[in-house]
Amino acid sequence: MSKKSKKSKQGISNIMIVLVLILVITNAATLYYFMFGPGVRAADTVPAEDVPMGMADVLGDPAYIGETVTLLGYLVITAGNHLLVSNPMLVFNNSLDPGNYVVLRGTLPPALNETFGMQIAVKGELGETQITGGGSEFFFDSFFDITYEPEYKGTFVDVKLNPYREFAGIPYLFDATEEKYAVLYSGGINTDKDHYRYWNDIIYMYFILQMHGYDPDNIYVIYKDGVSEDGYTPVDYPATHASLDTVFGLLSEEMGRADTLFFYTTNHGGSGGISVWNAMDSSGALTHSQVSNWLDSITCRYMIIVMEQCVSGKFITHLSS
């Protein structure tokens, strides 16, 4: 092959290399221009604080405390508190985890109450301190809808009933043929978790038992901090271990072999037992063995046990005998 042809091929190769370099540089320059150059307007970017984030990504991370963020969740009103929860299915009788809800503070617009069942994004400042035994405070700034149709059906507002209105005029249906006693219990944990529906459960049971021949003097109501939520339903004791000791001590002396005991529990529960009112009892849940011992101290003909709290099925093996 001639020297001339070798030089020709080498020249073509050099030209190709130059063209490739030009294309690479041109593409890089174009990408930079459209991402960072003057063609990019401030309105085309979204501030980090406006990007919706899941609660699991924010709560528990101290870097977000005192910062403005946007959280995804669902609105629930319970015990007078507006909560943003990661999933409304979590807000039943189980204990809410501090990592899946915040308590909304500040001035909340009426339009917020139109979002029940829909996923929303709420912007605000994450509080520096946590609610005692509960979620973090979240100071409201603004919100917008993520979904426009309810994803969840149900009741998202926890409201106290008026027992006088609900039960006025209902006659007692049965006469007592033997002494009937009842213990109605609800712990509530703390002010953020003592849902009004637990109180409503108590007053329903209180009136229903009277309709079935239970003397009000024989119905012991053990509730929260020991204070009634209305003027019609009495509360005898706060929800503590000591109160249960007292009540079952009285019942063990009062009740006999012909009598009936109705034992009802509601509020929160877990694998360790039934929740108490933490502010007045720091010794933990009412355990399975403790409840069993209290009931074993009673002599009666019939014992009716109704448990509504979460993980109540674990009591079956302890109480069925």
Average pLDDT for runs of 10 along the chain of length 321:
54 68 67 56 70 90 92 91 88 76 93 93 87 79 90 87 79 70 96 92 94 94 96 95 98 93 96 95 95 95 95 92 70
Residues 6+ apart with CB under 8 A from 8: none
CATH code (residue 72): 2.40.50.870
The helix/strand/coil state of 187 is coil
pTM: 0.69
* 205 and 304 share one domain: yes
- The answer to whether the CB of 86 falls within 8 A of the CB of 60 is no
Residue 83, beta-bridge partner list: 76, 103
Is 39 domain-assigned? no
**Cα–Cα distance measured from residue 268 to residue 189, given in angstroms and rounded to the nearest whole number:** 8
Which of 79, 114, 145 finishes a domain?
A: 145
* 249 and 218 share one domain: yes
The helix/strand/coil state of 72 is strand
115-144 confidence digits (pLDDT tens): 999 999 999 999 876 666 667 899 999 999
The helix/strand/coil state of 103 is strand
Residue in this structure with the two tokens 């929740």, named with its chain if needed? 275
The helix/strand/coil state of 50 is helix
* 227 and 118 share one domain: no
Domain of 135 in residue numbering reads as 48-145
C-beta atoms surrounding 296 within 10 Å: 12
**107-110: long-range contacts (C-beta < 8 A, 24 or more apart)?**
107/140, 108/82, 108/140, 109/143
Single-letter amino acid code for the residue at 270:
G
- pLDDT score, position 111: 93
Is 40 domain-assigned? no
Q: Is the dihedral of CA 273, 97, 230, 164 positive or negative?
A: negative
- The answer to whether the CB of 314 falls within 8 A of the CB of 288 is yes
CATH code (residue 271): 3.40.50.1460
**What is the count of structural domains for the chain?**
2
- pLDDT score, position 5: 56
Which of 145, 174, 198 finishes a domain?
A: 145
**Cα–Cα distance measured from residue 180 to residue 191, given in angstroms and rounded to the nearest whole number:** 33
Which runs of consecutive H residues, i.e. helices, occur in 103-195? 163-167
Single-letter amino acid code for the residue at 102:
V
- The answer to whether the CB of 145 falls within 8 A of the CB of 115 is yes
- pLDDT score, position 32: 61
Q: Please, what's the b/e burial string for 180-216 (b: 16 or more CB within 10 A of its CB; e: otherwise)?
A: bbbbbbbbbbbbbbbbbbbbbbbbbbbbebbeebbee
* 290 and 175 share one domain: yes
**CA 300 and chain centroid, separation:** 38
* 238 and 116 share one domain: no
- The answer to whether the CB of 223 falls within 8 A of the CB of 203 is no
